[in-house]
């Protein structure tokens, strides 16, 4: 080994240590900063309903009393001085289905009336009988809508009966500390009964969760795990196609008639450069909606929990199917064997990862840059909005969009993984990533300020996902470095790199012990401090009164339709 080559390898060795140390320093700084912002947000916030509320499920049934009576008696006995009241959850899945039909019919009637009005202006209103068919359709749909509304009112009345009570309830307390105590202490000697968890914000509650039995929810969790595994395996099909496109020799063997076409330099550049990234990007469009649906049937009680779960699923799906499946060639079983064989994994990574550097550089330039550009221009939402605009009743029906975290966050984290993994193997990827990150910062900052609205407030609970992803990227890079130095016959550098993954995981353990509890629950000190501030607040009486009505299933609200006027501006049906 000549001196210059050996010197460059040692430069890479020190670069691995420097980047690892700098990344850990930044992660610690950000974790500490966001944790302090979370505490500051809590101290500066006004009393929130979810801070005084606990969700209780798996409530035992009794023939002698209702679920509501059982909840009141149980919590009055355990917390006589701090228990305030409760609301029992009702089974409303049938009502939700009827209200969905009602909403679709209402939109259909609005569309028919809009078309009729436009044709009336076009023909000057002088052609008799032109609108008879549409009028009859409007009358037909109107009567059908009235029947559905009547069914909804009957079902809503039935929902108040004892038979429609679900084995779950929101329990309200007079202080935050009392609610936290009820959550952290096991209420019953039987741990499978009276299960408590923090209540989400009222507008964050995922109400369909309560319409299924808890046995079905437990089974659905197992089904979701199996489906995720199968979906991940099936997705290897487009990945294998992409791998074939990046390997010209493999294409010529499989399709001999393409040899003359592949001899053209321009065609070769398109097939091996842009086409694989395009196919992969189009295939990945399916992943966030699928993972969002799977998370929604997994038993989470809030939209925020569903989106966080979907973000994790999409993140690890992307790491496996875009990174590992692209890096490791061969069959699915061969890829699994490589991942499970710990003795050979560093060497395999050292060989396979650099070989795909050009593909991932192109992937960043195509998928990365186009994704942030499409985020700015919002072409698809614009087209959908233009189509829906003529059928929208009034300006209040236009809703500002919210960010789909499970779509955008995993993509940004994956590009971070590429940057950390390839910074010493293929530094050419760094300018492309820098352009992407600068564009993403500018565009997403604009979207958050001027475009998106928040569906819910998590107080920074998404940060641990980011932290864990960066730790994984660091450990992966360090394992690749160990294998690369060993492959280049630089044994001392390979040996001295081995402690890095251990140190990184130790740092991660420290962060989880030091900061993660702040993101799961607030401390007793914080809760008592806020409760003491509210003791002399005269507005708390009104807050307690409103607290009893904020957790109401939207399916139990009356449908807001009216049919007193033919105008598109006025309500259609009542």
* Per-residue pLDDT band at 330 (split at 50, 70, 90): very low
Q: Tell me whether residue 192 is in a domain.
A: yes
Task: Write down the residue that tokens 């005269």 correspond to.
Answer: 538
Share of the chain above pLDDT 70, in %: 80
The predicted structure's pLDDT at residue 198: 92
Which residues are bridge partners to 467 per DSSP? Answer: none
More confident residue, 317 or 390: 317
Average pLDDT of the segment spanning 210-232: 81
217-244 b/e with 16+ CB inside 10 Å = b? beebeeebeeebeebbeebbebbbebbb
Report pLDDT digits (tens) over 247-271.
556 555 556 666 666 666 666 666 6
Burial 386-423 (b: 16+ CB within 10 A, else e): eeeeebebeeeeeeeeebebbbbbbbbbbbbbbbbbbb
Q: What is the structure's pLDDT at 144?
A: 83
Give residue-wise pLDDT tens across range 116-146.
Answer: 655 555 555 555 454 556 567 777 778 888 8
**Mean predicted confidence (pLDDT) in 300-309:** 92
pLDDT tops 90 at residue 177: yes
- CA dist list (Å): 470 to 359, 419, 465, 490, 508: 22, 11, 9, 27, 10
Does residue 528 form part of some domain? yes
Kindly report the backbone phi and psi dihedral angles of residue 173, in degrees, each rounded to the nearest multiple of 5, phi listed first.
-125, 165
Answer whether residue 332 shows pLDDT above 50: no
- pLDDT of amino acid 571: 37
Does residue 36 have a pLDDT over 80?
yes
pLDDT for position 355: 81
More confident residue, 402 or 433: 433
Q: Tell me the whole-structure pTM to 2 decimals.
A: 0.82
Interatomic CA distance for residues 377 and 131, integer angstroms: 39
pLDDT at 183 over 60: yes
3-class secondary structure, 368:
helix
Determine which helix (DSSP H) or strand (DSSP E) holds 89, and give its type and residue range. strand 83-90
pLDDT (0 to 100) of residue 572: 33
Which residues span the domain enclosing 117?
49-200+523-557
| pLDDT tens digits for range 499-522 | 999 999 999 999 999 999 999 999
What are the tokens at 200?
């989400």
Count of domains for the chain: 1
Distance CA 188, CA 172 (A): 18
Q: Is the separation of the CB atoms in 477 and 421 below 8 Å?
A: yes
CA-CA distance, 19 to 23, in Å (whole number)? 6
pLDDT digits (tens, 9 = 90+) for 38-75: 999 999 999 999 999 999 988 888 888 888 899 999 99
pLDDT exceeds cutoff 70 at 298: yes
Q: Sorting pLDDT into bands at 50, 70 and 90, what band is 454?
A: confident
pLDDT in tens, 359-401: 888 888 888 888 888 888 877 777 777 776 655 554 445 677 8
Which of 563 and 22 is assigned the larger pLDDT? 22
Tell me whether residue 85 is in a domain: yes
Q: Which percentage of the chain shows pLDDT scores above 90?
A: 37
Quote the tokens at residue 196: 């408590």
Average pLDDT of the residues in 458-487: 92
Closest CA to 194 of 27, 79, 103: 79
571 in Cβ contact with 562 (< 8 Å): yes
Residue 167's φ and ψ, nearest 5 degrees, are -85, 50
pLDDT tens by residue, 403-427: 889 999 999 999 999 999 999 888 8
Residue, of 380 and 437, whose pLDDT is higher: 437
Q: How many residues does the chain have?
A: 574
Is residue 306 over pLDDT 80? yes
**Is 181 within the bounds of a domain?**
yes
Q: Pick from 417, 412, 544, 553: which is nearest to 480 by CA? A: 417
Dihedral sign, Cα of residue 4, residue 9, residue 12, residue 14 = negative
The residues with which 170 forms a beta bridge, in sequence order, are 55, 87
pLDDT of residue 383: 78
User: How is residue 101 written in tokens?
Assistant: 């039909």
Q: What is the CA radius of gyration of the chain?
A: 29
State yes or no: pLDDT of 176 exceeds 70.
yes
**What is the pLDDT at residue 396?**
46
pLDDT confidence bin for 573, thresholds 50/70/90: very low
- The residue whose two tokens read 């909005």 is 385
Question: Which residues on neighbouring strands pair with residue 86, listed in sequence order?
Answer: 171
Q: Is residue 93 part of a domain?
A: yes
- What is the rounded CA–CA span in Å between residue 45 and residue 498? 46
Q: Which strands sit side by side in the sheet containing 83-90, from one edge to the other? A: 83-90, 165-173, 53-57, 195-198
In a domain, 402, yes or no: no
Q: Domain for residue 490, yes or no?
A: no
> CA–CA separation, 230 vs 209, rounded Å?
24
Please tell me the distance from the alpha carbon of residue 150 to that of residue 404, in angstroms, as a whole number.
Answer: 36
390 vs 26 pLDDT, higher one:
26
Coil, helix or strand at residue 64: coil
Q: According to the model, what pLDDT value does residue 83 have?
A: 94
Query: Between residues 130 and 35, which one has the greater pLDDT?
Result: 35
**Tens-place pLDDT, residues 538-567:** 889 899 999 988 998 888 877 765 443 343
Confidence category of residue 468, pLDDT binned at 50, 70, 90:
very high
pLDDT at 217 over 50: yes
User: According to the model, what pLDDT value does residue 117 have?
Assistant: 59
The pLDDT of residue 537 is: 85
pLDDT at 29: 97
Say if 98 falls within a structural domain. yes
């Amino acid at each position: 080994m000549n001196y210059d080559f050996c010197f460059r390898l040692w430069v890479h060795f020190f670069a691995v240590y420097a980047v690892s140390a700098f990344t850990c320093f930044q992660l610690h700084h950000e974790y500490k900063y966001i944790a302090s912002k979370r505490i500051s947000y809590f101290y500066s916030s006004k009393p929130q309903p979810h801070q005084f509320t606990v969700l209780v499920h798996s409530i035992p049934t009794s023939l002698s009393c209702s679920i509501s009576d059982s909840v009141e008696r149980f919590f009055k006995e355990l917390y006589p001085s701090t228990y305030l009241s409760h609301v029992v959850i009702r089974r409303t899945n049938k009502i939700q289905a009827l209200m969905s039909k009602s909403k679709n019919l209402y939109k259909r009637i609005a569309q028919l009336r809009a078309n009729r009005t436009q044709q009336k202006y076009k023909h000057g209103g002088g052609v008799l009988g032109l609108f008879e068919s549409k009028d009859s359709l409007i009358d037909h749909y109107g009567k059908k809508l009235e029947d559905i509304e009547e069914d909804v009112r009957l079902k809503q009345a039935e929902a108040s009966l004892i038979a429609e009570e679900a084995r779950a309830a929101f329990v309200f307390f007079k202080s935050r500390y009392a609610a936290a105590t009820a959550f952290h202490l096991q209420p019953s000697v039987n741990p499978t009964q009276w299960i408590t968890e923090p209540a989400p914000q009222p507008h964050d509650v995922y109400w369909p969760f309560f319409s299924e039995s808890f046995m079905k929810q437990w089974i659905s969790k197992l089904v979701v795990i199996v489906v995720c595994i199968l979906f991940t395996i099936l997705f290897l099909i487009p990945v294998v196609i992409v791998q074939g496109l990046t390997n010209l020799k493999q294409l010529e063997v499989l399709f001999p008639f393409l040899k003359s076409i592949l001899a053209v330099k321009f065609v070769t550049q398109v097939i091996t450069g842009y086409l694989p990234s395009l196919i992969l990007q189009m295939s990945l469009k399916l992943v966030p909606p699928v993972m969002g649906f799977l998370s929604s049937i997994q038993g989470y009680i809030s939209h925020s929990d569903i989106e966080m779960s979907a973000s994790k699923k999409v993140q690890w799906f992307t790491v496996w199917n875009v990174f590992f499946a692209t890096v490791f060639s061969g069959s699915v079983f061969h890829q699994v064997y490589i991942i499970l064989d710990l003795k050979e994994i560093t060497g395999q990574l050292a060989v396979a990862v650099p070989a795909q550097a050009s593909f991932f550089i192109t992937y960043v330039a195509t998928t990365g840059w186009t994704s942030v550009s499409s985020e700015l221009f919002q072409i698809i939402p614009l087209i959908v909005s233009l189509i829906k605009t003529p059928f929208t009743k009034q300006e209040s029906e236009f809703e500002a969009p919210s960010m789909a975290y499970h779509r955008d966050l995993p993509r940004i984290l994956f590009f971070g993984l590429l940057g950390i993994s390839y910074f010493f193997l293929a530094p050419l990827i760094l300018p492309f990533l820098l352009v992407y990150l600068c564009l993403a910062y500018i565009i997403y900052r604009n979207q958050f300020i001027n475009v998106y609205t928040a569906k819910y407030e998590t107080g920074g609970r998404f940060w641990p996902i980011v932290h864990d992803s960066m730790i994984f990227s660091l450990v992966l890079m360090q394992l690749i470095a160990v294998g690369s130095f060993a492959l280049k016959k630089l044994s001392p550098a390979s040996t001295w790199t081995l402690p890095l993954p251990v140190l990184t995981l130790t740092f991660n353990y420290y962060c989880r012990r030091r900061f993660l509890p702040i993101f799961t629950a607030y401390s007793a000190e914080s809760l008592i401090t806020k409760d003491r501030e509210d003791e002399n607040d005269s507005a708390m009486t009104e807050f307690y009164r409103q607290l009893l009505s904020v957790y109401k299933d939207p399916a139990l609200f009356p449908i807001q339709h009216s049919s007193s006027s033919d105008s598109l501006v006025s309500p259609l049906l009542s």
